[in-house]
Amino acid sequence: MLVVGFPTGLFAANCYVVAPAAGERCVIIDPGQDVVAPLAEVLREHRLKPAAVLVTHGHIDHMWSVVPVCGEHEIAAYVHPADRGRVADPTRTLSADLVAALGLAGVTFGEPADVRELSDGGALDLAGLALTAAHAPGHTAGSVVFRSDAGGPDGEPVAFTGDVLFAGSIGRSDQIGGDSGAMQQSLSRLLAWPDETLVFPGHGGSTSIGRERRSNPFLRDLEPARQGSA
């Protein structure tokens, strides 16, 4: 699996371009602010053709450019129904001060022409990639983690965790739509995954489930979810 990630916009949210290999079709995960130019360079360098956009959650730093990217490449966006309204109007959960600071006053957002809703445990066969969408609420009601069972360089699982799990930290649950109890349950589900699972988070560098299990202070008192619930 080819994974190319780069930070986007004021909040340095990671956008990932994922494909079976160079010269293939790809999926784009979380096209954030000012993504169009660097995304075009990644697609050119690796000779990739986009097949879909996947949205881990509806915060504006992760889906700012969903509409232009989907429109340019005539592809669908995949989002959990609980966060679909945030994609259509991401400013509705932002304070007036933040809207002004981001220069969004008077800016009109909307949905791409083709939006497809994700379900927990739903299998996605896109661009030659076999991915599973795991609903992981807590940061937002519709947060989703995308997982491949054998996408790493040595065949290990790979997970794109959005703002659920970071290297050394976890996503906030104290904002509109957040739920600390749901976040704990979501993290327990991730802890049921194998230690070798590679984690590509929504901000910062990559890590692994094993590393976070051993060293992440926010996971110290959590037990993995029982087998079959992860």
Q: What value does the mean pLDDT take over residues 222-228? A: 78
Top pLDDT among 88 and 164 is at 164
Q: What value does the mean pLDDT take over residues 3-20? A: 96
CA angle in degrees (0–180, nearest 5) for 28-197-183: 75
Domain annotation covers residue 59: yes
pLDDT over 50 at 107, yes or no:
yes
Q: What value does the mean pLDDT take over residues 181-190? A: 97
pLDDT over 90 at 105, yes or no:
no
Domain annotation covers residue 227: no
Which residue is it, tokens 């692994």?
A: 208
Domain annotation covers residue 230: no
Cα separation, 133 vs 78, in Å, equals 10
Q: What percent of the chain has pLDDT over 70?
A: 97
Domain that holds residue 29: 2-219
Domain annotation covers residue 228: no
Q: Number of structural domains, the chain?
A: 1
Domain annotation covers residue 155: yes
Over the chain, what is the mean pLDDT? 93
Q: What percent of the chain has pLDDT over 90?
A: 81
| Token reading at 112 | 């791409």
pLDDT over 90 at 132, yes or no:
yes
Provide the CATH number for the domain around residue 21: 3.60.15.10
Question: Looking at 2-6, 30-34, 108-112, which range is the least confident one?
Answer: 108-112
Domain annotation covers residue 186: yes
Domain annotation covers residue 209: yes
pLDDT over 60 at 229, yes or no:
no
Domain annotation covers residue 17: yes
Label residue 227 by pLDDT band (50, 70, 90). low
